[in-house]
Amino acid sequence: MPIAANTAPTPVSIESSSNVLSVEVCEPTNRSAWDSFVGTHPHGSFYHLYGWKSVNEQALGHQSIYLMARDANSVRGVLPLVFVRSRLFGRILCSMPFVNFGGPCATDPPTYNLLMQAATTKANELRADYVELRSAEPVTTSLPVSLRKISMTLDLQSDPDKVWDAFSSKHRTAIRRSYKNDLEVYSGGAELLPIFYKVMQNSWQSLGTPLYALSYFERIMATFGEDARIFVCHRKQEPVAVAFNGHANETVEGMWAGGNPLARSLQANYVLYWEMIKDGCLRGYKKYHLGRSTADSAGEDFKKKWNATSKQLHWYFHRPDGGPMPELNVDNPKYKLAIAAWQRLPMWATGLLGPPIARLIP
């Protein structure tokens, strides 16, 4: 799938009394410097890693512009950007599409602002309809912000029993009860992708959501290796629920999860999530990010049962034409009919039509 070549943004820089801070496009030769900065920054995440550039370019065909702010001595900040040209939703310069969040990651407010300024400059050059920066942290800026999404994170312990003991007695009872349904969990890598994908196709169709191509998940596995992991919950060897996690900066990143119709009646998610939490504890991770949710949703309620705490996400927008923020969410009435129609399609049709559509929904 061809993509447009990267072009450098108009140079953006600021001067201090002793140094010049500038923003440049980070080429693959500087990947190690990028990932080293992300790996040591307190707000660096799995989604900020440089490997996502090739994933989005090669698996989805989207031009990616990775901006790095640096002075004469060191890297001061990074901002991954993906240009999604969609006939459905317009020309969107986003950080990061298709995953939980992204946005700028920097050492200080001037660097944050310089990166965001560079993003808006790049949007003007690309004639993007708007910029969307899905930041996990608040940034001092005049850009409009959406506060509709939150993230949910659970603190892990080296001893999973300590996490277990902190659950409410009601929640522990629910987990024990679900194990009585003959549920077991195993995990692995790319060899589990066919099972994962089949369950996800069923799950996302029931939600009315097109699913990415299998090659997208294959590319993620090939890029991140052992830092990407699949979990399968099965009953008598029949998969009923699956999850796909990433790992970086002492954090387990919950990216995708789904189940077939049996999963709900068997309460499979209780077994699946507990086994993933135990795995994270035993492998030495400090936090488990359970993904993003809409505030006051059923998803948030379920994650709170695991003692996950909520944190406000900040999605910043810039429209070169000065127009209002877009309404690209399932609660927008104009999308509800499309969702209902998708749920009624046969599986072969959603499997054929889903990937070309999903790559255009950031």
Q: Which of 310, 336, 354 corresponds to the end of one domain?
A: 310
Q: Are residues 114 and 93 in the same domain?
A: yes
How many residues does this entry show for the chain? 362
pLDDT higher than threshold 90 for residue 23: yes
Q: What CATH number does residue 142 fall under?
A: 3.40.630.30
pLDDT higher than threshold 50 for residue 87: yes
Q: Are residues 163 and 264 in the same domain?
A: yes
Domain count, the chain: 2
Q: Are residues 133 and 213 in the same domain?
A: no
For 102-182, where are the E strands, in sequence order? 105-106, 130-135, 145-146, 149-155
pLDDT of residue 88: 78
Q: Are residues 38 and 146 in the same domain?
A: yes
Q: Are residues 288 and 320 in the same domain?
A: no
Q: Are residues 76 and 162 in the same domain?
A: no
Put residue 26 in one of left, alpha, beta given phi > 0 → left and psi -120 to 50 → alpha.
beta
Range of the domain at 258: 153-310
Q: Are residues 142 and 188 in the same domain?
A: no
Q: Are residues 131 and 207 in the same domain?
A: no
Q: Please report, rounded to a whole number, the percentage of residues in the chain having pLDDT higher than 90.
A: 79
Q: Are residues 184 and 266 in the same domain?
A: yes
pLDDT in tens, 261-316: 888 899 999 999 999 999 999 999 999 999 998 888 888 899 999 999 999 999 99
Measure the CA–CA gap between 348 and 298, rounded to whole angstroms. 30
Q: Are residues 112 and 170 in the same domain?
A: no
Q: Are residues 51 and 157 in the same domain?
A: no
Q: Which amino acid is at 86?
A: S
pLDDT of residue 1: 46
pLDDT of residue 11: 47
Instruction: Judge whether 146 and 95 are in contact, CB under 8 Å.
Output: no
Average pLDDT of the chain to the nearest whole number: 91
pLDDT higher than threshold 50 for residue 16: no
Q: Could you tell me if residue 141 is inside a domain?
A: yes
pLDDT in tens, 134-164: 999 998 888 899 998 999 999 999 999 999 9
pLDDT of residue 3: 46
Q: Are residues 126 and 158 in the same domain?
A: no
pLDDT of residue 12: 55
